[in-house]
Amino acid sequence: MTETSESLQPVLTSHLFGKLDAKLVELLRSLEASDWDRRTLAGHWTVKDVAAHLLDTQLRRLSIARDGYESEAAEIGSYADLVAHINKLNDEGVAIYRRLSPDVLISLMEVACRQTSDYFASLDPYGAAKFAVTWAGEMASANWFDVAREYTERWHHQQQIRIAVERSGIMTRELYYPVLDCFMRALPFTYRPVPAKAGNRVQINVSGECGGSWHLLRTERDWRLVSAPAGELVAETTIPQEIAWRIFTKGIGRHEAREHVQVSGNADIGLHVLKMLAIVG
């Protein structure tokens, strides 16, 4: 773990996968044939494409992390290489699993969900993860962070489907707040280029029953997340919970998001949060 992560409590999510995945399977089983072709917030992906992506990433996770099996080795020399590799794998997975019938896809999803949930529950939260959380600037991560990152992936893609088919169900404090808390671990990395005096603090609020407040403190060396207000508040930004997850997953443009965000103090510092990404891309 990094110093920035250690200043806050870990985001423990392994116990939530069963409930989140059950809601996904229930949702998919309820879809009409035409629903599978609806466009989502995930670029050009349809509902079926997003479901195929969720199946593919779970099967890859089990194969690589649990079983130690990798079919091909990728040469990663930069973050751009990593992004290109991940995008390639994602596109290939969607192309394969979108060919399945909805019934077959859902049946495989149930198996993959159960095995993935069991695998995450078996991990030592503080052990070394197979994959680092690169969008938080980490070269090595603890399991709890890698698992929480995976939880945010499964939550936000399911939410993309739910918006496309006009179904609510997972924007609850139990299921959504951990997503936000995990996303905010990217704040220190995002704010690296932002100049400030030691002791300056930025506060990021997410309004709504699922939200909260996160405090970013400038030290002599860097920005750090702290668990309670400290230092001089120089900027405060409030984001509605309905769009917070979309900002950090490329689900809404910055200019559109700005119309819904409130900022006080130094606007340049406060609005820098709109540049934060909590996905590889």
Domains of the chain: 3-170 (1.20.120.450), 186-275 (3.30.1050.10)
For 231-261, the pLDDT digits (tens) are 999 999 999 999 999 999 999 999 999 999 9
pLDDT-above-70 percentage for the chain: 98
For 170-219, the pLDDT digits (tens) are 999 999 999 999 999 999 999 999 999 999 999 999 999 999 999 999 99
Q: What is the pLDDT at residue 1?
A: 34
pLDDT at 160 > cutoff 50: yes
For 2-25, the pLDDT digits (tens) are 343 347 899 999 999 999 999 999
Please compute the mean of the pLDDT values over residues 101-118 and round it to a whole number: 98
Among 19-23, 74-78, 127-131, which stretch is predicted with the lowest mean pLDDT? Answer: 74-78
Q: What is the pLDDT at residue 281?
A: 75
pLDDT at 81 > cutoff 90: no
Please compute the mean of the pLDDT values over residues 143-147 and round it to a whole number: 98
Burial of residue 280 (CB within 10 Å: 0-12, 13-18, 19+) is middle
